[in-house]
Amino acid sequence: MLRYLLGGMVVATVALMAGGSLLYAEAPKSHTGKGHGRCAALAAKLNLTDKQKEEMGKIRTEFHAKEAPLKKQLGTLHHEHFHAIKQVLTEEQRARLPEGMKAEWDRRWQEMAGKLNLTQEQQQKLDKVRAEFRGKFKQLATKEGEKRPEQFRELRHEAFKAIAAELTPEQRSRFWTTFREERHHGHNAAVRGKEHEAFAEKLGLSAEQRKRVEQICSEYAKKRADEVAQLKQLRHEEHTAMAKVLTAEQREKLHELRKDRENNAKKGETGKADRDR
């Protein structure tokens, strides 16, 4: 239940750092607002021709247009789900919810700050960033309109960019490694169950309320799974289309780059396991 009440808080590190969105907390498309730069770097490594770059751009634009309605629907589902949960709570419990969520955000932010080994100056600057974007997210949450999901995503990307600007290259790398670890952590049923139970205790939920919330979460999970499956299929089709633009040599090079990235990720997980012993 906690994962849903906090709008994917464990997954969306920006929500931890900026006091962020309760509704649309998903991993950003671009870590630092430099997605175009990353694409350009990959194009250089693969030695793409201008014609290949143009064809890749057309494919990307086409599939992003197909993804947009699905992403919007995910945002709508999340909003409806969060609203349904709030209706199960008493007036007193709803009043205590923001304070409990903020306390959890702050606790997780302190954990993140410790892992990044921030200087005092960085901590002070990032505290200002958190306060600034907390206010912006709260203000946006009071607005209505069809474009609100897109506005949340744009604001979240701005928050990521502002946070990354205060980190060193090494810290930014550690930040995203920790982000992936937190995401994996949030998918651990046993760990998630303990967190849910602890938060339910803080709110003072009755047995009947807990049962109703779990039912709502189960219904939401099924609907979300359908949308996510469609997104994954679209991305698979996009990657397949892009691969056809590449030469055999470029496809082999891309395969090697992906293997290197996977190996680096595994090394990061192994390093974390060693530190936790």
For the segment 23-39, the average pLDDT, to the nearest whole number, is 45
Within a domain: residue 259? Answer: no
Tokens of residue 240, six digits: 């397949």
Within a domain: residue 257? Answer: no
**What pLDDT sits at residue 141?**
74
- Residue showing tokens 């600007």: 165
**Are 128 and 18 a contacting pair, CB within 8 Å?**
no
Which pTM value belongs to this model?
0.63
Nearest-CA neighbor of 10 among 157, 175, 127, 179?
179
Within a domain: residue 29? Answer: yes
Within a domain: residue 93? Answer: yes
pLDDT digits (tens, 9 = 90+) for 51-102: 999 999 999 999 989 998 998 888 788 888 888 988 999 999 888 887 877 7
- Residue showing tokens 């143009």: 54
Domain count of the fold of the chain: 1
For residue 226, the enclosing domain spans: 2-246
Within a domain: residue 263? Answer: no
Inform me whether the pLDDT recorded for 274 exceeds 80: no
**What pLDDT sits at residue 238?**
93
**Are 98 and 19 a contacting pair, CB within 8 Å?**
no
Within a domain: residue 254? Answer: no
Q: pLDDT category, 197, cuts 50, 70, 90? A: confident
**Are 67 and 238 a contacting pair, CB within 8 Å?**
no
Within a domain: residue 195? Answer: yes
Q: Which residue has the higher pLDDT, 62 or 175?
A: 62
**What pLDDT sits at residue 43?**
86
